């Protein structure tokens, strides 16, 4: 694993969706598998539903935590507008995994801006890559009875494209979470993997 080539990951969403925890688990899983990791988080008024962005860079040796525009290998977006905002970071062979969920920012609620249509978001992403996957993260978390499991569902989706075994992910989740919430989040992770495997099978 230590000879794996560099992988640049951008995780984005809005405050309260668990973006930073998800990116922490990615970083911890990579470290446990022997990779070098650099990570940085940016939170803009996160508690008011502002953007939250995590840059995670993995590889044999990584020198900087920041990913340059046009170099993201995988975008994990917890909200559709946030995927559009950072679409210019994607490289031409990138994978974009997008939670099919709308949480309008304050500016839209005040009538100062318009939330883009689904088609507009797709067009923006397709300017960079054709490998776009919309997944029912919010809906699945609600079905599980706890919306806070969204981030682990999204991690399950991401894990299908990662170089790490499912067991490595599960061990990281167990280490990171208190016992009382492990089972439901492991279930969310498993559902995310199954969702993405099914989507890839249908597209393939």
DSSP calls for 103-130 = ---HHHHTTSS-PPPHHHHHHHHHTT-S
Q: How is residue 135 written in tokens?
A: 């997944």
Q: Is residue 2, in this structure, part of any structural domain at all?
A: no
Can you tell me whether residue 98 is helix, strand or coil?
strand
| 175 within domain boundaries | yes
Count CA within 13 A, CB hemisphere, residue 2: 2
Q: How is residue 70 written in tokens?
A: 């046009």
In a domain, 72, yes or no: yes
CA-to-CA distance for 136 and 131, rounded, in angstroms? Answer: 17
Angstrom distances, CA of residue 76 to CA of 50, 108, 167: 17, 23, 21
194 lies in which domain range?
Answer: 7-203
Residue 180 lies in a domain: yes
What CATH number did the domain enclosing 34 receive?
3.40.920.10
In a domain, 73, yes or no: yes
What is the pTM for the complete model shown?
Answer: 0.93
Residue 170 domain-assigned (yes or no):
yes
In a domain, 95, yes or no: yes
Residues 6 or more apart in contact with residue 89 via CB below 8 angstroms? 10, 67, 69, 70, 71, 72, 75
* Length of the chain in terms of residues written: 204
Provide the pLDDT for residue 110: 75
Let me know if residue 1 belongs to a domain: no
Q: How many domains does the chain have?
A: 1
Q: pLDDT tens track of the chain, all 204 residues? A: 545 679 999 999 999 899 999 999 999 999 999 999 999 998 866 455 688 999 999 999 999 999 999 999 999 999 999 999 999 999 999 999 999 999 988 778 777 889 999 999 999 999 999 999 999 999 999 999 999 999 999 999 999 999 999 999 999 999 999 999 999 999 999 999 999 998 887 775
Residue 82 near residue 51, CB atoms below 8 Å: yes
Can you tell me the distance from the alpha carbon of 6 to that of 63, in angstroms, rounded to the nearest whole number? Answer: 11
pLDDT, residue 46, reads 47
pLDDT at res. 122: 98
Distances (CA, A) of 80 to 49, 77, 136, 174: 14, 7, 11, 29
CB contact at 8 A, 157 and 196: yes
Helix (H, G, I), strand (E, B) or coil at 182: helix
* DSSP summary character for residue 170: H
């Amino acid at each position: 694993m230590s000879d794996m080539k560099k992988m640049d990951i951008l995780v984005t969403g809005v405050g309260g969706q668990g973006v930073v925890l998800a990116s922490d688990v990615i970083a911890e899983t990579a470290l446990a598998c022997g990779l070098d990791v650099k990570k940085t988080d940016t939170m803009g008024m996160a508690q008011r539903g502002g953007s939250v962005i995590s840059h995670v860079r993995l590889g044999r040796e990584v020198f900087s935590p920041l990913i340059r525009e046009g170099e993201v290998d995988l975008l994990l977006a917890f909200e559709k507008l946030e995927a559009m905002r950072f679409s210019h970071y994607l490289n031409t062979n990138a994978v974009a995994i997008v939670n099919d969920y709308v949480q309008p920012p304050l500016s839209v609620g005040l009538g100062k801006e318009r939330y883009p249509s689904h088609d507009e978001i797709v067009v923006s992403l397709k300017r960079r890559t054709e490998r776009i996957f919309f997944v029912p993260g919010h809906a699945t978390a609600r079905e599980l009875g706890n919306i806070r499991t969204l981030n682990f569902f999204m991690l399950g989706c991401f894990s299908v494209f990662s170089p790490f075994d499912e067991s490595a992910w599960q061990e990281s989740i167990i280490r990171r979470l208190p016992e009382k919430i492990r089972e439901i989040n492991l279930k969310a992770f498993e559902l995310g993997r199954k969702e993405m495997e099914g989507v890839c099978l249908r597209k393939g």
